[in-house]
Amino acid sequence: MSQLIKISLLAKYEIAREGLRNILSGESFQIQASGSDVSALFNSQEMIADDVDCHVIVVDGGEISFGLDACRRLAAKRVHARLALLFDHYVFEDVVEAFQIGVDAVIVKEILCAPLVESIKLAALGEKVFPSQLVNNLTSWVPAALGGDWKSSAASVGLSDREIEILESIMAGMANKVIARQFGICEATVKVHVKAILRKLGVENRTQAATWGVKNGLGEPVQLTLREVKPVRADVRPPPYSGRAA
């Protein structure tokens, strides 16, 4: 992308911030803020300077509680900037929590610098970036999902046949308008069903409802979910040839 990407760095320790600054300082990025606390990114009016879409706040989550808490506070302030959270290690539950908070990119620091840069560029474009390890997690759910007694699970929480159909559609990533067209009902009716599903499952949002469906073996969510995983490949070019032609 030709537009300059503004970067704000948030890390508990200076050495982590300077390391990220060194990696990201280049022609595609402009480091505009850096700090050890969320408040350091805001001015006296509680606003982030140049709070625009082409702005990524990179949070070092070396300490899990620090990273998730920082992203939670940033999401609560409804900043326009994208959120990229770096973890030292892959833990499925932490990744799920991060996306539930509203993080745009979860990156495990086992990757090389070039894929890190490309991941942040994707986040700036509005793409969701998943750790590659998530694919292995989803794939491992296939046997459990296929063998899961989802009918008993659905019955135990009182889901109707229509609610099960709509839950499967939610797991497929369908919007309410699309679900309404699929079943020939109005969008308002779909919203009523969705609210009932969330209430019966005891969850707060569609992502948590879809997770419940996966864990209880409903449908074939793995194939659908994998489409969201966008592999990041570094743009590797061979060095220029400086010798003379024979």
- Residues with Cβ within 8 Å of residue 93, at least 6 apart in sequence: none
**Per-residue pLDDT, 235:** 45
Helix axes 113-124, 14-24, angle to 10 degrees: 80
Alpha-carbon distance 76 to 126, whole Å? 19
Measured over the CA atoms of residue 165, residue 167, residue 168 and residue 174, the dihedral's sign is positive
What topology does CATH give the domain 5-131?
Answer: Rossmann fold (3.40.50)
Which tokens go with 19? 């390391």
Backbone conformation region of residue 88, classed left if phi is above 0, alpha if psi is from -120 to 50, else beta: alpha
Confidence band for 91, pLDDT divided at 50, 70 and 90: confident
**Per-residue pLDDT, 137:** 64
Per-residue model confidence as pLDDT tens digits over 93-120: 888 889 888 899 999 998 899 999 999 9
Per-residue model confidence as pLDDT tens digits over 8-35: 999 999 999 999 999 998 768 988 888 8
Per-residue model confidence as pLDDT tens digits over 78-88: 777 899 999 99
Residue 179 contacts residue 169 (beta carbons within 8 Å)? yes
**Cα–Cα distances in angstroms (integers) from residue 34 to residues 81, 156, 163, 246, in the given order:** 14, 50, 47, 52
Could you name the CATH architecture of 136-228? 3-Layer(aba) Sandwich (3.40)
Confidence band for 39, pLDDT divided at 50, 70 and 90: confident
**Per-residue pLDDT, 19:** 93
Confidence band for 156, pLDDT divided at 50, 70 and 90: confident
Alpha-carbon distance 223 to 213, whole Å? 14
Residue 4 contacts residue 54 (beta carbons within 8 Å)? yes
Q: Averaged over 34-55, what is the pLDDT?
A: 69
Confidence band for 147, pLDDT divided at 50, 70 and 90: very low
DSSP helix/strand/coil, 9: strand
Q: Averaged over 51-61, what is the pLDDT?
A: 80
**Per-residue pLDDT, 195:** 93
> Most confidently modeled of 22-31, 38-47, 235-244?
22-31
Alpha-carbon distance 56 to 59, whole Å? 9
Give the predicted TM-score (pTM) of the model.
0.57
Confidence band for 228, pLDDT divided at 50, 70 and 90: very low
Per-residue model confidence as pLDDT tens digits over 174-191: 889 989 998 999 999 999
**Per-residue pLDDT, 92:** 83
Alpha-carbon distance 16 to 62, whole Å? 9
Q: Give every strand in the sheet of 5-10, ordered side by side.
A: 29-35, 5-10, 55-61, 82-87, 105-108
Per-residue model confidence as pLDDT tens digits over 60-84: 987 778 899 999 988 888 777 899 9
DSSP 36-68: SSGGGG--TTS--TT--SSEEEEEEESSHHHHH
Domain with CATH 3.40.50.2300 in the chain: 5-131, 136-228
| Percentage of residues in the chain having pLDDT higher than 70 | 75
**Per-residue pLDDT, 215:** 77
**Per-residue pLDDT, 57:** 92
